[in-house]
């Protein structure tokens, strides 16, 4: 029977490296999430647009990124650009972009669903007040839709945090890769895997808690009934 030695988790150097890599994980995930919101907004409105080229591009984007694994997309971006176009890629930049592009497809469905869930009477009311379509969307529809996006967007953020571990495959030193480096150095596999599992758990539950607080503060429960 194998004997575990959790004392390695009490060594300051190991703690420092794990916490530093956790911070990087949060930064990479946050960067990917912001990018996904930008892409998701563009794709969602493209799906709802009557301008056919924009609509078709959005549908193709959605089909590709929902139909292929994130790991494959990550490899194509990081290794494919230098091979095909001769573009030098930076691991963490490629990772953030891949996370954003992948998550953007799913975020677009959250945004589209939230916008389309707003009663059409809201648009009619805005237009009757003399607002243009864009003004009505910005001042009336989007604020209400944003509240309805909170819960599913929180889930997407959590999923993206977990998916960030795939960045380790292109040498990005985030939490999972740092754990592997420490395992290679100390041969304490279970100890470090358990440690990062707890860190992922804490971070994701913190995200979930913040999302829940925002939902309650903004009254999404009343809004959704």
Kindly report the CATH number assigned to the domain that includes residue 156: 1.10.3720.10
- Is 188 part of a structural domain of the chain? yes
DSSP symbols for 134-174: HHHIIIIIHHHHHHHHHHHHHHHHHHHHHHGGGGGGGT--S
- Is 172 part of a structural domain of the chain? yes
Query: Do residues 99 and 36 lie in contact, with contact meaning Cβ atoms separated by under 8 Å?
Result: yes
What confidence tens digit (pLDDT) does each residue in 179-196 have? 999 999 999 999 999 999
- Is 1 part of a structural domain of the chain? no
Give how many domains the chain has, as a whole number: 1
Q: What confidence category does residue 224 fall into, taking pLDDT thresholds of 50, 70 and 90?
A: very low
> Which residues form the domain of 163?
6-224
Which is more confidently placed, 66 or 145? 66
Give residue 9's pLDDT: 92
């Amino acid at each position: 029977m194998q004997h575990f030695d959790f004392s390695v988790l009490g060594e300051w150097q190991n703690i420092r490296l794990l916490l530093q890599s956790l911070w990087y994980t949060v930064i990479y995930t946050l960067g990917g999430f912001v990018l996904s919101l930008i892409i998701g907004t563009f794709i969602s409105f493209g799906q709802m647009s009557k301008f056919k080229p924009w609509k078709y591009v959005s549908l193709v984007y959605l089909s590709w990124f929902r139909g292929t694994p994130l790991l494959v997309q990550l490899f194509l971006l990081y290794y494919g650009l230098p091979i095909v176009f001769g573009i030098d890629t930076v691991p963490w930049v490629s990772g953030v972009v891949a996370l954003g592009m992948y998550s953007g497809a799913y975020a677009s469905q959250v945004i589209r669903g939230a916008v389309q869930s707003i009663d059409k009477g809201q648009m009619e009311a805005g237009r009757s007040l003399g607002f243009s379509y864009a003004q009505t969307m910005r001042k009336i529809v989007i604020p209400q839709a944003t509240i309805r996006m909170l819960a599913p967007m929180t889930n997407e953020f959590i999923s993206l945090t977990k998916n960030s571990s795939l960045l380790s495959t292109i040498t990005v030193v985030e939490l999972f890769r740092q754990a592997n480096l420490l395992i290679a150095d100390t041969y304490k596999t279970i100890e470090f895997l358990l440690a990062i599992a707890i860190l992922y758990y804490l971070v994701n539950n913190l995200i979930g808690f913040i999302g829940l607080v925002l939902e309650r503060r903004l009254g999404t429960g009343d809004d959704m009934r």
